[in-house]
Structure 1
Amino acid sequence: MQRWSAGRLAVGLLQSSRGRSMETWRLQCGPKSSSVEAMSLLCWTVTAQIETPALLAKAAGLTCSEPVNFQLAKESSRCAGELEMKKDGEWRNVIDNDFTLNLNAADVVCRHLDCGSAVSTERKEMESYTGMWRISSTCLQSKSAVRECILTNSYPSSSFLKIICSGSVRLVNGTSLCSGRLEVKSTQSTQSWSSVCEEDFDLQDAEVVCRELGCGAPSVLQGALYGDMEAPVWTKEFQCRGHESALLDCDSSDRNTCSSGKAAGLTCSEPDNFQLVRGSSRCAGELEMTKDGERRNVIDNDSAWNLKAADVVCRHLDCGSAVSTGRKEMEWHTRMWRISSTCLQSKSAVRECILSEYYRSNSILEIICSDSVRLVNGTSLCSGRLEVKPTQSTQTWSSVCEENFDLQDAEVVCRELGCGAPSVLQGALYGDMETPVWTKEFQCRGHESALLDCDSSDRNTCSSGKAAGLTCSEPDDVRLSGGASSCAGTPEMKQQGQWRPVVDWDSEWDQKLSSAVCKRLDCGSAVSINISNSSSETPVWGISGSCVQSDWMGRECLSVTSSKTSSRNLEVVCSDLLAQPNISFSTHIDGVSEATQQGLRVLMGSDFTISCSILPQYPGGSFQLIFNTPDPEQKNYTLPAVNHSAHFLFSAADPTHRGEYRCVYHLYVFSHNFSSESRPLHLTLAASVTHLVIRLVVLGLLVLVSAAALFGYVKASRGQTSRPEDKMELDHLGGAEDLLGEEAGGAQGPE
């Protein structure tokens, strides 16, 4: 295939931009030109054809850089200042459209500008309104390209965005902006980022980097922790003293080799800018934050604050897990810092979820953390591997040996965490033992309010080597209300002592929420949902749809909002709508039916009835009697439900009636067929009195005949020696007594 020139390639792409498939693109483009001219022209073409940029780039096998239409201005460094954008040939300040700009969104801009990572962001106020370009910070947080998040029209605003980037250092491939493989570049923008050899970087150097990035003190420094060394490699060894404000301000010496071949991997702790105040301990109270040197209360931005978001704060403060959270109302509005609870629920670092501006509010967030106990690696706040630490914050969390922890201890822990009763207690259920290990055996009585209030005794070994794994049940705070069954109605949750309907503000989660409620209540799956609007508003609790899973809905998803009302009503019907039917047995002759270990016994030849009944939930329906008997010809019977019951009459019981019986209730309601099955009833048979008398008479005659024969035989044989076969015959005749005894036993039943 011939090589295309730059001009031919561009013209071919432009001519193919109308209605062509991806396969056509591959055939049209062919091998790309290696010349800089062709590459530049192709990227210009990709930028110009807004409708098909991804298609064009993929077809040509290229990655084009973002257009240079952003800058940080009016500061001494190109990596700090007011965010400006050039659009329609005009540079203007930028404002975020959704008022949710945080470090995650700002970091996309910093990396776009090749300025490292975001250190801080804020919203600056002006004296007058002016037209600004708009950008979606929600879009930026999805790690999209910056140009894809630009909105089409301008917006008059009196505030604009200011961003400070790290400039010459960054951490890549980490779990947050405060962790990753260290890369450095000189202040000249034309330089590339270089990996740093672990041998050229020590703890004092790490202290400077963590401070430069706006993070807390270094917690982990380890080579290859976040990936292998990548070329190019920084050729100097840093010699920081620890007080410098930037890594490139430190002294350094030349070093041309990296003998270990490992890149420096660094994890900085989160900055210490949060605290809980005015509570009973440092792990309970109002949430406060220091930002821009000013300490204020915190309010959530998106009215989706719940236990899951609060739990991130508790763990950030090393205070265990969230037990409860609420919103406290004040008499006046005051300035507060804002935080995105939706961001926190994605398990992001706390500092990355802080928003760029303050907000006036009359409600503040309160949190109570567990402080000294927590469950880790579980599926919810009520499950996991148990860890304990003393109330002194300097102590570390310790695993608990399963041998040192029993059911009474578990009852205390579940209560302390705000969960229901313990349901599973098993060693190594949520991971292996991790050091350090708690050295005491708990001796709780079950009534204590906290695990550390229990008595304990020293125990230095853990012979099983297994960590205590605990699953607490969810508290009884969910129900379906207003229906004829506990498995149908309006979903309600209990919070702050009040039952209210639960509403997800985003209706796309209705099916997911309904399924989770049915499974939470052990009602099967959701088979029907109905949404209606009432003429009046009622108080409701909100729930985070993104937190709810289709097979689980924990208390941590319930949003802690101010008093809100809604006219929207969600009604759910679960598959296990019907109660379990009852099955019973009765006879109709002068005989006694008795319970045995094998089930109910009916006398041979008597009449009997199997009755099916169910709680009066819904009118109508039918009962089907299913029975498994030795007779393959036996059929199932169906009767309509009359007064919620049906009676199946059987006459002249015989051996074909032995077996297992079940009642199945069928009902058509809510445009669906439902059914519910009873427990099994086992029926056995016994001989009737008449039948027993006849058999006893026959046995009596047999005994008399045998006795007469025996008398004649003995008389004829008098004086003769007994033979072995005579003894055998006597034994055979003696079997009549055994037969008589068996019949008698059948009439009397077991002793």
Structure 2
Amino acid sequence: MSLLVNGSDSCCGRVEIRYNGQWGTVCDDNWDMNDAAVVCRQLQCGSAISAPHSAAFGQGSGSIWLDDIKCSGSEGTLTQCSHKGLGKNDCNHGEDAGVVCSGAQNISLVNGLDACSGRVEIFYGTWGAVCGQSWDIDDAAVVCRQLGCGRAVIADGQSLFGVRGNVWLSEVNCKGNESSITQCSQRNGNNCPQSNEAGVICSDYSIRLVNGNNDCSGRVEILYNGQWGTVCDDDWDMKDAAVVCRQMGCGTAVSAQTSAHFGQGSGPIWLDDVRCSGSESSLTQCSHPTIGTNNCGHSEDAGVVCLQGICNFFPVVLLYLYEIFS
């Protein structure tokens, strides 16, 4: 169990964890934004804004439970991250670690097909909408990021997802790189036509290729709800690989690898039984069971090799052959 102490609210402060019935602190050796991200997620406090060192929120007391923490950022709790072992440290309370998070999740998408599409609603005591006037893709990008829903695909300002009637925010103007919509320029108030309530459609995950020769070959991994996971190779074929290569901007598919060809991943297996026609623009558009539903192990992690990856590698091969035979 974790909490934040001595901050302005429950989403910032000195990091403390409870172990064997006793509260203690965390040493700031190697403390960084990946570690802070895990704390903010665990406490449902949004995204990490900073990872203060040197007892920025005052010195704690009692045990220093964790030291030399090294998180990837996707773990569910701090104890799942690499560390010396509970209670093992070479620190003092002048090195107590802290966290500042963007705040408790106070935003949701309503009336969409899933949790990553719909009318944007903000909670200020009660739920209210966001005015769609001046609403654009930069604003939508912040909402999608805040909800862990990948990138913004559509920014709707014409009440595509229905009308709530009461509007909490208007004239929202985000740069697109903010971690929360509350960090954007905005105006409170209900002066907004009901036909102009804001909505978004997000791609519910980002995608990457891992452990290949380059960015266009490797194990397929997707980011969903802030956590990277893999894809099972059940029914994995060239049509599925074609969609991944297109989505990655890596040209056409050369091979669809199975049986953890690029090594076994870790964390959730987000997709299983993926069946693409090959013409989809992202894996989310292909047929598959509910995300997270699978009967697989990481020995079945799927991979791809795209043509762009081979093209990037080909000049190196030619140079090598030239040096041998010249």
More strand by share: 1
Task: Provide TM-score, normalisation by structure 1.
Answer: 0.24
State which structure, 1 or 2, has the greater radius of gyration over its C-alpha atoms: 1
